[in-house]
Structure 1
Amino acid sequence: MATIFSRIIAGEIPSYKVAEDDKFFAFLDINPLVKGHTLVVPKQEVDYIFDLNDEDLAAMHVFAKKVARAIEKAFPCKKVGEAVIGLEVPHAHIHLIPMQKESDMLFSNPKLKLSDEEFKAVAEAIRAVL
């Protein structure tokens, strides 16, 4: 059975896409910690990020770096943090989170409630830099 991320990649479930290439897909987290919180996923359905072969794991991080640089420009921050947790969805993914302070990366923090228009504006701001 396809994961929710595979269904997003296939266009079966709507998302706020930020970037895509032949191997990877980046879209906004619908429960963001801060504006600009983006997920990077491989199009290959694999549960555990370290089950990716070395070439794909490296390529995923290079793709994530491009997205992170765009996030930095669209949402000025001290750094873009990277987190790999992966227990909530059985599909490897990287969280990219603009940070002003380390506590911005705490997943126990309250999630932002953004409108459809706000999500669209955030995604467009990142895409415009890419």
Structure 2
Amino acid sequence: MASIFTKIINREIPGHIVAEDDDFIAFLDIMPLVKGHVLVVPKKEVDYIFDLEPELLSGLHLFAQKVAKAMDKTINCTRIGVAVIGLEVPHVHVHLVPLRTMDDINFTRQKLKLSQEELSEIAEQIKKGF
């Protein structure tokens, strides 16, 4: 069964996509820790990040760097935090989280509930950074 991320990649369900190439996609987390929380995902569905082929693993991080630089340009934050948890969805994903404090990347805190309009606005804002 395809992961929810594969369904976004295949456009079977909507996602607020901020960047995409042949191998990777980046979209907003719909239950973000903070506004602008982005997930960077390889299009190839693999459950565990260290099971990725070396080229795909390095490519994932290089793609995430491009997305983070766009976020830096367009989101008011101190820096972009990076986390790989891998327990929520069985498809490799890197969290890019705009940070103002250490607590902004605390995955045990309550997630935000943003409207589709807010998510669309944030996605468009990030896209302007490319």
Q: What is the TM-score with the length of structure 1 in the denominator?
A: 0.97
Counterpart AA for 1:16: H
What value does the CA root-mean-square deviation take over the aligned residues?
A: 0.7
Distance 1:74 1:94 in 2: 19
- State the shift of 1:72 in Å: 1.2
- State the shift of 1:53 in Å: 1.0
Query: Is the aligned partner of 1:44 residue 2:44?
Result: yes
- State the shift of 1:95 in Å: 0.3
1:80-125 per-position Cα deviation (integer Å, ceiling 9, x unaligned): 0000001110000000000011111001122112111110000000
Distance 2:95 2:106 in 1: 12
Query: Is the aligned partner of 1:60 residue 2:68?
Result: no
* Runs of at least 5 residues in structure 2 that lack an aligned partner in the other structure: none
| Percent sequence identity over aligned pairs | 58
Query: Is the aligned partner of 1:34 residue 2:38?
Result: no
- State the shift of 1:23 in Å: 0.2
Q: Name the residue aligned to 1:5.
A: 5
- State the shift of 1:8 in Å: 0.7
- State the shift of 1:76 in Å: 2.1
Distance 2:105 2:89 in 1: 18
1:60-79 per-position Cα deviation (integer Å, ceiling 9, x unaligned): 00000010111111112111
1:2-52 per-position Cα deviation (integer Å, ceiling 9, x unaligned): 111101100001010010000000000000011110000000010001111
Deviant stretches of 4+, over 2 Å: none
Counterpart AA for 1:113: K
Distance 1:28 1:91 in 2: 15
Residues matched between the structures, number: 130
Counterpart AA for 2:24: F
Secondary structure of the residue aligned to 2:39 is strand
* Runs of at least 5 residues in structure 1 that lack an aligned partner in the other structure: none
Distance 2:4 2:113 in 1: 21
Q: Name the residue aligned to 1:111.
A: 111
Q: Name the residue aligned to 2:129.
A: 129
Q: Name the residue aligned to 2:72.
A: 72
Counterpart AA for 1:120: S
Counterpart AA for 2:9: I
Distance 2:120 2:61 in 1: 25
Counterpart AA for 1:59: G
